[in-house]
């Protein structure tokens, strides 16, 4: 009888100990969860983005060709088909939540300033956001990360023996021109952009002159700075894109391989009043 009693007593103590250990484990896991898992890792918005979509002005404008540069906190996103561009600054990223303030350019002219943006960002994946402006400055968007961002930037890739050609979009829209506009890298770190209009007797409408720098050779971002000198064959059109006193256009470029290797140039510039952007290719 004594042996049986001791066995039962030992079984009871074993069961009780297991219960206590189990409860301690559960409490420990809850404590770890509440103290260490509450804040997600801060995401990085930097990159090139393509194949983006937007729903603006309650569905009145729904572009599916949204492109974007994000570098140093600055974000420039645009749609060539809708001829709209947003340019601004990401003001904060906490975890995967971000806030930003952007200006809206429509058909090359700034129409709204300081539009509040809120959204989510996932490093090297996508950015989604909501715009709190009016008209096409109100709506939602999604930007999809472009792996071409991870291609090294070199002057050799952007300096070509043949001009980049295509259509620039600005207040004087060259989108319907018969002859292309061109981006001429005439030196190792400078360029001219020539705009043509074959509908008139004038050959070159405006000449942008600028400089190219590489902020980080490991990423596909070129920082570009330009202005419009007093001139061009059509001073009226040129000066309509200028700001007095002169405010230089700043922005970004990237060399892409969408039609062929290093054959495409993505470009976007603003100066607080006007914007100039587009995609050029090698002929």
31 SS3 class:
helix
Name the strand (E) or helix (H) holding 5.
Answer: helix 2-36
Q: Between vectors from CA 179 to CA 174 and to CA 180, what angle results, nearest 5°?
A: 60
Q: What percent of the chain has pLDDT over 70?
A: 67
Q: What percent of the chain has pLDDT over 90?
A: 50
10 SS3 class:
helix
The region of weakest confidence among 118-127, 130-139, 247-256 is 247-256
Instruction: List, in order, residues 6 or more apart from 79 with CB less than 8 Å away.
Output: 54, 63, 65, 66, 67, 85
More confident residue, 266 or 205: 266
Taking the chain, what is the end-to-end CA distance rounded to the nearest angstrom?
Answer: 101
Q: What torsion, rounded to 10 degrees, do the Cα atoms 156, 158, 164, 169 define?
A: -170
Structural contact between residues 45 and 70, judged by C-beta atoms closer than 8 angstroms: yes
For 41-47, what is the mean pLDDT?
96
240 SS3 class:
helix
Cα–Cα distance, 5 to 2 (Å, whole number): 5
More confident residue, 244 or 218: 218
44 pLDDT exceeds 80?
Answer: yes
pLDDT-based confidence at residue 228 (cuts at 50, 70, 90): low
pLDDT-based confidence at residue 166 (cuts at 50, 70, 90): confident
Calculate the alpha carbon distances from 140 to 80, 107, 114, 116, 231 in Å. Answer: 17, 20, 16, 12, 40
Cα–Cα distance, 276 to 272 (Å, whole number): 11
pLDDT-based confidence at residue 240 (cuts at 50, 70, 90): low
Q: What is the pLDDT of residue 1?
A: 43
Calculate the alpha carbon distances from 244 to 192, 194, 195, 225 in Å. Answer: 21, 21, 21, 17
Looking at the DSSP assignment, which residues form a beta bridge with residue 213? Answer: 223
């Amino acid at each position: 009888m004594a042996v049986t009693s001791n066995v039962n007593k030992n079984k009871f103590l074993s069961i009780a100990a297991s219960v206590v250990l189990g409860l301690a484990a559960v409490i420990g896991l809850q404590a770890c969860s509440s103290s260490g898992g509450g804040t997600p890792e801060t995401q990085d918005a930097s990159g090139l983005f393509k194949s983006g979509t937007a729903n603006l002005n309650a569905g009145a404008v729904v572009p599916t060709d949204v492109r974007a540069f994000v570098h140093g906190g600055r974000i420039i996103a645009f749609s060539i088909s809708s001829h709209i561009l947003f340019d601004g600054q990401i003001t904060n990223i906490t975890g995967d939540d971000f806030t930003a303030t952007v200006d809206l350019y429509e058909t090359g002219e700034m129409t709204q300033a300081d539009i509040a943006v809120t959204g989510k960002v996932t490093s090297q994946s996508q950015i989604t956001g909501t715009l709190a402006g009016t008209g096409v400055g109100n709506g939602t968007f999604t930007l999809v990360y472009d792996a071409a961002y991870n291609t090294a930037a070199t002057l050799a890739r952007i300096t070509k023996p043949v001009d980049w050609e295509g259509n620039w979009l600005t207040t004087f829209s060259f989108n319907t021109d018969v002859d292309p506009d061109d981006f001429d890298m005439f030196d190792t770190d400078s360029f001219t952009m020539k705009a043509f209009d074959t509908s008139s007797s004038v050959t070159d409408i405006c000449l942008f002159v600028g400089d190219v720098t590489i902020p980080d050779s490991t990423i596909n971002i070129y920082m570009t700075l330009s202005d419009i000198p007093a001139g061009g064959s059509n001073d009226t059109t040129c000066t309509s894109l200028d700001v007095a006193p002169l405010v230089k256009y700043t922005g970004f470029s990237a060399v892409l391989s969408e039609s062929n290797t290093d054959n495409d140039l993505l470009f976007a510039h603003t100066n607080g009043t006007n914007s100039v952007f587009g995609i050029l290719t090698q002929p």
